[in-house]
Chain A
Amino acid sequence: MKKKFKLSNLYLVVIFIILYVPIFYLMFYSFNSGGKMYDFEGFTLDWYKELFQDSRLLIIVLNTIIIALLSAGISTVLGISGAIAIWYVRKVYAKNFLLSLNNVLIVSPDVIIGASFLILFTFVGIKLGFTSVLLSHIAFNVPIVVLMVLPKLQEMGASLIDAARDLGASRWDVLSKVVLPYITPGIFAGFFMALTYSLDDFAVTFFVTGNGFTTLSVEIYSLARRGISLNINALSTLLFVFTLLLVVGYYFITKRNARPIGLGARK
């Protein structure tokens, strides 16, 4: 029994090593003055310096951030409305059906989503570029926000709304003074998740971008194809660290959610 336990631990460790070693390898050589992914010659920050002097790259970074913030923001608004709509559905099977539709969008492969958006955009005649990327990011972010917000709504229970109505609140008051404040932690969690998904999305963006508009992940891909420069390593390192920060932020928000209600969302 004990041996088996150890074996499973070992398995986990091996998996994590396999997953993380390439990333750390890549990060490690971003500090290599030798300019190659082997033979570590000496520590340097030159690749980072070069990165920050490359104005084209900086614009791409800016694009990526704008797309992430805009799509996360817009999809948060849409996702909240969607979650509230699903929550209001009284028939159980209709509710489950809507929820399944939502979840299918989350689990379906990015390639399929990207390809279908490409077809849609060319069909409708939307020029590939900023708009098409933004629209598709919103599209794959909305289900994520719905999934984050809905449990909070379900946890709220109908009696709070009854109480608000009883105290004289109009429908708008109920929404703005009770429902939204209550689900705020869920909204934040949804927003952060959407942000991370948008920032590191490659497949969907790759399909629907065009006319010179790129985001970081697509750019890294094309740089990597062109040939090895440790620029890419530096850029990937920064991206990795940034995503890590987002994950940590998300962790703290969800931890706050788990606390007893009332402590979490102070006015």
Chain B
Amino acid sequence: MSTSTIIRFENVTKQYDNDAAVLDNVSFEMERGKFYTLLGPSGCGKTTILRLISGLVEASHGKIYINDKLVNDVPANKRQVNTVFQDYALFPHLNVFENVAFGLRVKKLKNADIQKKVQEALRFVNLEAYENREISEMSGGQRQRVAIARAIVNEPEVLLLDEPLSALDLKLRTEMQYELRELQRRLGITFVFVTHDQEEALAMSDEIFVINKGKIQQRGVPTDIYDEPINRFVADFIGESNIIQGKMLRDFVVQFDGKEFECVDQGFNPNESVEVVIRPEDLEITTKEKGHLKVKVDSQLFRGVHYEICGYDENGNEWIVHSTKKAVVGEEIGLYFEPEAIHVMRLGETEEEFDARLEAYDDQGVENGN
């Protein structure tokens, strides 16, 4: 599989009318054949990025390249890109077969070819028996598959998926996550998948772009995004986290909650103010004596896989713990964590600076608990 760039945004800005920018000077590259996820809260500009790629809206500034070709002036119907829309946008006046055949019909393919390709596409999404159904007779999950078939039958180089799973129930949704990922492997084309569900993003993607307020906050493989969030927004948005103010005393030593802790982060100025992230599942419940922190349990929720325990330490900081063990509300417990569980974030660090700092310690050949 070639790894050359397929989509490139250069300083793209999008404003509607004269409002504030919906996308603010965004630049990125996407490689051929990978599964990308755009993740962010509602209204952050995810759909806008997809519509810029598909050509349904025009950029206000900046350049968009597909396959190294500038496409700013190429209309949507001339781009080798297809979309699975947020509401599927299936044609209610056409049946399943004709919906899938739509793109081929407007390209004036021969009937026999259309027949063959449509059947193949429907087989791909396990709907071969449904050709003659009306759209209104299909379930939500089936409609979504029709929408996927309608897009992939055109053999696009890029498939854009705008929250295609958000309308499905949890079980079907998990099933479809597997199916989509599998589909992407079989087709070998680039998927750009939009979601505001962080678990979905972590489970499915080769690479995640975390977006907030029209800016890309951080991009990277799921484990990096999860383990090394660049700022408070990313840490908070990707999974639950405990974030508290701290001070980086020197390399490998951070101070928070009035105590010093060993950690694996470095490259900070001495005594720099920082934010410290510890994931709830990295906190272990022990006795008061053995724990690094003493916490009074305030509330406890049963979440199925684990208990979510919420408590406060003596300085009033809130701590959330995920544990398979039960705690007793009102009791004091100790919390223990490994140095690797601590992630230190510099305040206001940009993505470039963050990457440069990480690289700097790799160059020094230092082991840094990734």
A interface, CB within 8 angstroms of B: 159-160, 162-170, 173, 177-178, 181-182, 184, 260-263, 265-267
B interface residue count range (under 10 / 10 to 19 / 20 to 34 / 35 or more): 20 to 34
- A137 shortest CB reach to chain B, Å: 31
Alpha-carbon gap, A170 to B56, bound state (A): 13
Residues of B within 8 A of A (CB): 54-56, 75-78, 81-83, 85-87, 89-95, 98, 102-103, 105-107, 134-137, 150-151, 154
Contact A177 B82 (CB under 8 A): no
Instruction: Flag if B103 contacts A167 (CB, 8 Å).
Output: yes
- Do the beta carbons of A169 and B77 come within 8 Å of each other? yes
Measured in the bound complex, the distance between the Cα atoms of B151 and A158 in whole Å is 18
Q: Chain A residue with minimal CB distance to B51?
A: A162
Smallest Cβ distance from B51 to chain A, in angstroms?
8
Judging by beta carbons under 8 Å apart, are B77 and A181 in contact?
A: no
Q: Could you pull out 23 A-B pairs where Cβ atoms are within 8 angstroms?
A: A159-B87, A162-B76, A162-B89, A164-B91, A164-B102, A165-B76, A165-B77, A166-B77, A166-B81, A166-B82, A167-B77, A168-B77, A168-B103, A168-B107, A169-B102, A173-B106, A182-B92, A261-B93, A262-B92, A262-B134, A262-B137, A266-B134, A267-B94
Question: Are A159 and B136 closer than 8 Å at their CB atoms?
Answer: no
Complexed CA–CA distance, A170 and B75 (Å): 10
Please report whether the interface of chain B is mostly helix, strand, loop or mixed according to DSSP: mixed
Closest residue of chain B to A262, judged by CB?
A: B136
Nearest CB of chain A from residue B113's CB, rounded to whole Å:
15
Q: How far is the CA of A162 from the CA of B83 in the complex (A)?
A: 9
Per the bound structure, the CA–CA distance linking A160 and B102 in Å amounts to 12
Expressed in whole angstroms, the Cα–Cα distance for A249 and B90 within the complex equals 30
Cα(A262)–Cα(B138), bound, Å? 11
Instruction: List the A side residues contacting B92 at CB < 8 Å.
Output: 182, 261-262, 265
Max chain B C-beta neighbours (<10 A), residue from A165, A167, A178, A261? A167
Residues of the A chain whose Cβ atoms lie less than 8 Å from the Cβ of B105: 177
Q: Decide: A267 near B95, CB < 8 A? Known: A167-B150, A168-B77.
A: yes
Q: A160-B89, A267-B95 are in contact. List 10 more A-B contacts (CB 8 A).
A: A159-B86, A159-B89, A165-B56, A167-B82, A182-B91, A182-B93, A262-B92, A262-B135, A262-B137, A265-B92
CB-CB < 8 A to B137: which residues of A?
262
Interface of A is mostly: helix
Residue of A nearest to B80 (CB): A168
Which residues on A sit within 8 Å (CB–CB) of B102?
Answer: 164, 167, 169, 177
Q: CA A142 – CA B155 in complex, angstroms? A: 44
How long is the Cα–Cα vector from A177 to B98 in the complex, in angstroms? 11
Please give, as numbers and ranges, the residues of chain B lying within 8 Å of A263 by CB-CB distance.
Answer: 134, 136
Q: Which 8 pairs from chain A and chain B are nearest by CB?
A: A262-B136, A167-B103, A163-B89, A262-B92, A261-B92, A159-B89, A165-B76, A181-B93
Q: How far is the CA of A165 from the CA of B102 in the complex (A)?
A: 11
Partner of A167, one of B86, B95, B136, B154: B154
Report the bound CA distance from A160 to B86 in whole Å: 11
Cβ contact within 8 Å between A169 and B87: no
B-chain residues with CB within 8 Å of residue A262 when the two chains form the complex:
92-93, 134-137
Whether B77 pairs with A170 at a CB distance below 8 angstroms is yes
Q: Which B residues are in CB contact (< 8 Å) with A265?
A: 92-93
A24 to B86, CA, bound (A): 57
* Complex: chain B residue closest to A166, CB-CB: B83
Q: Looking across the interface, which residue of chain B has its beta carbon closest to that of A184? A: B93
A262-B136, A266-B134 are known contacts. Are A168 and B91 too (CB-CB below 8 A)?
Answer: no
Partner of B54, one of A164, A166, A181: A166
Closest to B150 in A: A167
Known: A167-B103, A170-B106, A173-B106. A162 touches B56 (CB 8 A): yes
A167 to B154, CA, bound (A): 8
Q: What's the Cα separation between A227 and B102 when bound, in Å?
A: 64
* Residues of chain B lying within 8 A (CB to CB) of residue A178: 91
B321 shortest CB reach to chain A, Å: 44
Is the CB–CB distance between B85 and A159 below 8 Å? Answer: yes
Which of B136, B137, B151 has the largest number of chain A CB atoms within 10 A?
Answer: B136
A261 to B151, CA, bound (A): 22
User: Smallest CB-CB separation from A265: which chain B residue?
Assistant: B93
Name which residue of chain B comes closest to A173, CB basis.
B106
A147 to B154, CA, bound (A): 38
Contact A163 B136 (CB under 8 A): no
CA separation between A162 and B55, bound complex, in Å?
10
B73 to chain A minimum Cβ distance, whole angstroms, is 15
Closest Cβ of chain B to A141, distance in Å, is: 25
